[in-house]
């Protein structure tokens, strides 16, 4: 299977820019999407559509839904669903800016920007807390099996469902933790990434251990750190899957749905956005909009 947007499988770039759009009522979404297909190669620009846009086009993508707001004890998981998302990937932030301006211009008749998040690679694929992120990501064929719909009809085969959440860290709260407390919150040692077998049940990697779900809940994470001039920052969490089910199962455990134990990550970080998108496959090196009858 080689009909997916290739940027999804590639390792995270040095820089990323996430563009989110709402639809303009009475705008010309169809023409805009056709033009977007001319510039989105699935590598430098990965595209995802929200449920409202797919419905507006009179289409249906089985399994596509909007991001559900959730709550756990003392925890709110917000939904900030958008209609359209473009993930710009590259090494040069200046070049990404110009690409973003080009995309904004060509979408102008149908969409209005609702959010824009700049992300970057930190160290050796680390979160801004210093912990390595992505260690237990599936690789090779397993990554493709995890991320893409397989065996479906043309137009759906090779597509992917992506969950995105901007998490904002409380760096003061994190710094106040002892090394031991921080390691036990993640379930790995900061110094050498060693997985702590005796970590508490609240440890993040215990909450999310992918093979400990029934069915197993594998996701392909492509998260990147973000920061703004006011010195706020955190992790822009991105998880691709052949459905949203694995992500939802993990998030449910993180907020204590099953046993009342909440993920210790919440001691120092919170999600401030949340959205779901369907990433169409590629056909003849173009975005494949056949499922949308475009």
Give the nearest distance from C-beta 224 to ligand HEM in angstroms: 11
Among candidate residues 61, 64, 76, the one with its CA nearest the CA of residue 156: 61
Instruction: Let me know how long the chain is.
Output: 294
Give 115 or 170: the residue with its C-beta nearer to ligand HEM: 170
Among candidate residues 113, 104, 101, 118, the one with its CA nearest the CA of residue 16: 118
DSSP label of 236: E
Residue the block writes with tokens 């090196």: 285
Give the nearest distance from C-beta 160 to ligand HEM in angstroms: 16
Among candidate residues 116, 117, 100, the one with its CA nearest the CA of residue 108: 100
Residues of this chain that interact with ligand HEM (CB under 6 A) are 127, 131-136, 165, 167, 186, 188, 204-205, 208-210, 219, 234-235, 237, 239, 247, 250-251, 254, 265, 269
Cα 243–287–23 angle (5° rounding)?
75
First to last CA, the chain: 23
Give 41 or 257: the residue with its C-beta nearer to ligand HEM: 257
Give the nearest distance from C-beta 254 to ligand HEM in angstroms: 6
Among candidate residues 260, 120, 263, 289, the one with its CA nearest the CA of residue 185: 263
Give 160 or 208: the residue with its C-beta nearer to ligand HEM: 208
**Is the Cβ–Cβ distance between 129 and 227 less than 8 Å?**
no
Give 24 or 209: the residue with its C-beta nearer to ligand HEM: 209
Give the nearest distance from C-beta 196 to ligand HEM in angstroms: 11
**Is the Cβ–Cβ distance between 29 and 110 less than 8 Å?**
yes
Give the nearest distance from C-beta 102 to ligand HEM in angstroms: 31
Give 35 or 168: the residue with its C-beta nearer to ligand HEM: 168
Give 69 or 112: the residue with its C-beta nearer to ligand HEM: 69
Give the nearest distance from C-beta 268 to ligand HEM in angstroms: 9
Among candidate residues 227, 225, 244, 222, the one with its CA nearest the CA of residue 235: 225
Give 20 or 167: the residue with its C-beta nearer to ligand HEM: 167
**Is the Cβ–Cβ distance between 69 and 274 less than 8 Å?**
yes
């Amino acid at each position: 299977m080689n009909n997916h947007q290739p940027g999804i499988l590639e390792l995270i770039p040095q820089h990323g820019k996430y563009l989110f759009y709402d639809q303009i009522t009475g705008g010309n979404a169809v023409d805009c999407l056709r033009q977007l297909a001319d510039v989105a190669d699935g590598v430098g620009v990965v595209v995802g559509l929200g449920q409202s846009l797919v419905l507006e086009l009179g289409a249906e993508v089985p399994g596509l839904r909007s991001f559900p707001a959730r709550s756990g004890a003392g925890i709110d998981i917000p939904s900030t669903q958008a209609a359209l998302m473009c993930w710009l990937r590259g090494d040069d932030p200046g070049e990404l800016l110009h690409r973003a301006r080009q995309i904004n211009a060509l979408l102008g008749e149908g969409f209005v920007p609702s959010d824009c998040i700049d992300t970057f690679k930190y160290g050796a694929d680390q979160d801004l807390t210093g912990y390595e992120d992505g260690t237990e990501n599936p690789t090779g064929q397993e990554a493709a099996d995890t991320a893409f719909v397989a065996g479906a009809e043309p137009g759906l085969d090779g597509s992917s469902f992506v969950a995105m959440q901007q998490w904002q860290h409380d760096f003061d709260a994190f710094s106040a933790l002892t090394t031991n407390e921080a390691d036990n919150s993640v379930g790995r040692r900061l110094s050498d990434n060693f997985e702590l077998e005796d970590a508490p049940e609240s440890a993040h990697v215990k909450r999310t251990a992918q093979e400990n779900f029934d069915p197993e809940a594998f996701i392909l994470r492509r998260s990147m750190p973000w920061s703004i001039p006011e010195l706020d920052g955190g992790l822009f969490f991105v998880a691709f899957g052949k459905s949203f089910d694995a992500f939802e199962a993990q998030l449910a455990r993180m907020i204590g749905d099953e046993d009342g134990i909440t993920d210790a990550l919440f001691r120092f970080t919170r999600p401030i956005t949340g959205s779901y998108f369907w990433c169409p496959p590629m056909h003849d090196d173009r975005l494949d909009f056949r499922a949308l009858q475009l």
